[in-house]
Chains A and B, each alone.
Chain A
Amino acid sequence: MRAASREDRRPDALAALASVRPALRIVAEAERLAAFEMDAYIQRRATPMAAALPDSEAQVVAIVRALARLGVPIVSRGAGTGISGGATPRPDGVMLVLTRMRRIVAVDAAARLAVVEPGVPNAQVTEAAAPAGLYFAPDPSSQVVSSIGGNIAENAGGVHCLKYGLTVHNVVALRAVDGDGDLLEVGGAALDAPGYDLLALLHGSEGNLGVITQATLRLLPRPESTETLLAAFATVKAGAEAVGAIIGAGVIPAAIEMMDRVVIDACERFMALGLPKAEALLLVEVDGGAEETAETRARVEAILAGCGVTEVRVAKDEAERANLWKSRKGAFAALATVMPDYYTMDGTIPRRALAEALEEIYALGREYGLVIGNVFHAGDGNMHPCIFYDSAKPGELERSEELGGRILERCIEHGGTITGEHGVGIEKLRQMCLQFRPGEIAAFHDVKRAFDPADVLNPGKAVPSLKRCAEWGGMHVRDGRLPRPDIPRF
């Protein structure tokens, strides 16, 4: 039980951190702690007791052991780019900031593996691997900044997941410190490991099951050839249907991204790219052997022509490719110019429901009087509705959050999920109670206890307590089946 108040326990926590050897960089002054008061989920902030910035795995082990003994919560943080509040501090906890552990330990070109510390920014892995003709496939849009440890904790995606998988498909081994302060070595250089797949379990566990101290990443050879097309559509529905038509024809593009009118207009105002006038744009990328890529591109063009495309632009060279990607990559910056604030959602739905779900999202926007723009991974059915609001207007933030929740509920109803790649954090705890029944929520807590019996690693994040689900009144009845009566409820 954590009965003692923050003030009671802070001196003990600071003393515990000070006892770590080799000596540790500790931030304890309120003004300097402001740097860690929130991640990119800017709706919530708090000042932690202190922040610990280890340089080594041995220090991480010592920190976890020392704080676990006191029962002081530990919130791990990488670059702080997470947008679901996974790294939002707790006033009664210590931030474990892993940005100083940013060594690329080894790049083994022959084995196509990179061994890195958790604080290494995603994009630096590819930079280090490039001389060998290799790259690290997961490419979340935050990749210049976001750290590998955070990518793993969130099981980050990116724009190339349909063909190249999520982070979990591209990591072969991890070293992580569990809630007991024990070092877990999971996975390995071999293609599988004995026992349960703890490697899969740690991916997307949002800092709840272990603090990642090292990762071995799978590197892939750069495709020989890549081609990119931009396709314009007069309706969102036509664009959404083209996505299904391409995949249904047996083509697995490296990426299919979609942007709607709100986003197109914002990009045009912000970057003046000369984008086609359209209600929806699809950015389609295909890769492979040189001849193969040209053939696939031609097939995609033919499929698009049958889907009522109004204009297709094909990049002729690298510069033109980069130019076509500019709108997608700069979209979120462009959106920041639409309104003072926006809130990005992250639900996944079956692709067939894309057109319908987009219509529903626009209708919800009208109902709440808020503008919504959509720029997202259409090939994966992973939607990112951006809800615009003005936090200076009373009640507008709350309205945007309520609208976001309604959108996530629609995703569940379409047979999808409340989060495709951003994580649950604190943002989507409430919707977890809708997506899962008490039995599953209880099983998640069982998994958590297996790694962290004292509940010191990021407590209160990622999985709601059954008690809170009951308070929210959101317990879910699926397929008309009542939740299991034998489960001790609350």
Chain B
Amino acid sequence: MADDFITELAGRIRDHASRKAPVRIRGGGTKDFLGGSLAGEPLDVSGHAGIVAYEPRELVLVVRAGTRLADIHRALSAEGQALAFEPPAFGEAATIGGTVACNLSGPRRPYAGAVRDFVLGARIVNGKGEDLSFGGRVIKNVAGYDVSRLMAGALGTLGVLTEISFKVLPRPPEEATLAFEMDEAAMVESVNRWAGQPLPLSATAWEAGVLRVRLSGAASAVAAARRKLGGTEVADGASYWEALREHRLPFFEPGRPLWRLSVAQTAAPLGLAHPQLVEWGGGLRWVVGALGAAQAREAAGKAGGHATLFRGGERAAGVFHPLAPAIAKIHRRLKEAFDPAGILNPGRMDNF
């Protein structure tokens, strides 16, 4: 069944390649808003779903790319485990393939790692219709170039993900959320100072003068950190972090352009006139409002990072931060090698 799907998919890709007819890879369709233009005939991969292998003792999960995130969460939860990168779903139909392709990690990212840090292997169909497997199902593996991690964040422009293996981790037994009133500069200083200490931090978010900090780990470690940090305990912590992860907080109210500025965690406040929500220990600064691309990119660049127009807004100038010429050169060559006919999600990663 599953291999039939891949055989058929590969044939279809070869056909599209021969006609130079673009495909638009689609899982649950929950991330259509993200990235550059959507072009080509829809290629629905959501039917290629299911857990291929899951052995909790191995800390390894192998899934078909069309598997819904919700199904993965359920299977892992039953064994007291989780995807440590805490991926946002942005909708019930979200699939793991889309999550990896978009490189979406949630509030835990600075303390646990990103999607790519947990990818152990990937099976893909490239733009030539070849069924290829990279990496594997073990935690340490340096055979061959790390093409599986390369797929994380490639927005489907190098291949259609069909199967992915992950390292999974035990779910932390205890979590607590603390709130502090402080201004942005004090927040940046505090969250970085705390990150340099052995504290069980697992998320931070600052908005409108309030910093929330999540602690996760052994009950004793969380209790000790709570005593050390002070602040006010937030009762409904879990629902706050979920709303943040899924962009359901009032800050993310639809209709306004949303910029994502990924910057150095210690970067000073950006001084933009628009409302901001800062998470990832200072490293991720969401800005809402009609910010120009040039202004967003300049602000992010000065702060050691890059800007993405995440939702809405004026998209003519591209949604991603332009690449340096030498880096763009490598991108062009990789794209040319993996997808010579240029049929996989063209334009989704701006020029690639």
Which chain A residues have a beta carbon within 8 Å of chain B's beta carbons? 108-112, 132-134, 154-155, 157, 161-162, 165-166, 168-169, 178, 180, 182-186, 188-198, 200-201, 203-205, 208-209, 221-224, 244, 247-248, 250-252, 288-292, 295-296, 348-352, 377, 380-382, 415-424, 428, 432, 435-437, 439-440, 443-444, 446-451, 453, 462-463, 478-479, 481, 484, 486-487
Contacts and interface: CB of A to CB of B under 8 A. Distances in A.
Given A205-B145, A289-B218, A416-B138, A196 B304 contact: no
Nearest to B149: A200
A161 B59 CA distance: 13
A169 B305 contact: no
Given A190-B305, A200-B146, A484-B131, 9 more contacts: A195-B327, A222-B198, A289-B217, A289-B221, A416-B138, A432-B144, A446-B334, A450-B337, A451-B330
Contacts of A288: 198, 200, 217-218, 221
Nearest to A287: B198
Contacts of B212: none
B144 A440 contact: yes
A483 to B, nearest CB: 10
Interface stretch (B19-27, B175-183, B189-197, B239-247): B189-197
A195 B141 CA distance: 24
B139 A348 contact: yes
9 contacts: A161-B140, A178-B330, A185-B324, A188-B306, A190-B264, A191-B110, A192-B262, A247-B57, A415-B137
A150 to B, nearest CB: 13
B142 A134 contact: no
B143 A419 contact: yes
A450 B333 contact: yes
Given A111-B266, A154-B142, A381-B140, A188 B305 contact: yes
Contacts of B133: 437, 440, 478
A463 B144 contact: yes
B142 A133 contact: no
A194 B337 contact: no
A440 B134 contact: yes
B51 interface: no
A289 B320 contact: no
Interface stretch (B68-76, B90-98, B111-119, B202-210): B111-119
B139 A189 contact: no
Contact of B140 (A109, A292, A377): A377
Interface string B242-286: 000000000000000000001111110000000000001001100
A417 B14 CA distance: 30
B169 interface: yes
Contacts of B116: 197, 200
A189 B304 CA distance: 6
Given A166-B140, A417-B143, A196 B153 contact: yes
B320 A195 contact: yes
B344 interface: no
A423 B142 contact: yes
Nearest to B126: A443
Interface of B: 3, 14, 55-60, 80, 103, 109-110, 113-114, 116-117, 126, 128-134, 136-147, 149-150, 152-154, 158, 169-170, 192-193, 195-200, 217-218, 220-221, 224-225, 262-267, 280, 283-284, 304-306, 308, 320-324, 326-331, 333-334, 337-338, 349, 352
Given A178-B330, A198-B330, A205-B145, A165 B196 contact: no
Given A110-B193, A169-B117, A201-B145, A439 B57 contact: no
A380 B140 contact: yes
A332 B116 CA distance: 33
B221 A194 contact: no
Contacts of B337: 443, 446-447, 449-450
A207 to B, nearest CB: 12
Nearest to A108: B266
A289 B142 contact: no
A351 B140 contact: no
B221 A291 contact: yes
A155 B14 CA distance: 35
Nearest to B145: A447
Nearest to A294: B220
Given A185-B327, A194-B323, A132 B349 contact: no
Given A288-B217, A289-B198, A484-B130, A381 B334 contact: no
B205 to A, nearest CB: 15
Contact of A197 (B113, B141, B153, B221): B153
B237 to A, nearest CB: 20
Given A190-B305, A194-B308, A421 B150 contact: no
A189 B264 contact: yes
Contacts of A201: 145-147, 149-150
Nearest to B133: A440
Nearest to B307: A194
A371 B134 CA distance: 34
Given A165-B113, A252-B170, A436 B158 contact: no
Contacts of B225: 289
A165 B117 contact: yes
B132 A196 contact: no
Contacts of B217: 288-289, 292
Contacts of A382: 139-140
Contacts of A186: 327
Contacts of B3: 479, 481
Contacts of B199: 221
Nearest to B169: A252
A186 B329 CA distance: 13
A223 B208 CA distance: 33
A162 B84 CA distance: 14
Contacts of A486: 14, 128-130
A169 B137 CA distance: 17
B146 A193 contact: no
Given A110-B193, A191-B114, A204-B145, A197 B150 contact: yes
Contacts of A188: 264, 304-306
Contacts of B128: 486
Contact of B150 (A196, A420, A437): A196
A111 B218 contact: no
Nearest to B189: A110
A196 B328 CA distance: 10
Contacts of A191: 109-110, 114, 262, 265, 280, 283-284
Given A157-B140, A288-B221, A439 B131 contact: yes
B150 to A, nearest CB: 5
Contacts of A349: 138
A345 B321 CA distance: 44
Contacts of B134: 440, 443
Contacts of A424: 142-144
Among A157, A252, A450, chain B packs the most CB atoms within 10 A around the CB of: A450
B198 A221 contact: yes
Nearest to B225: A289
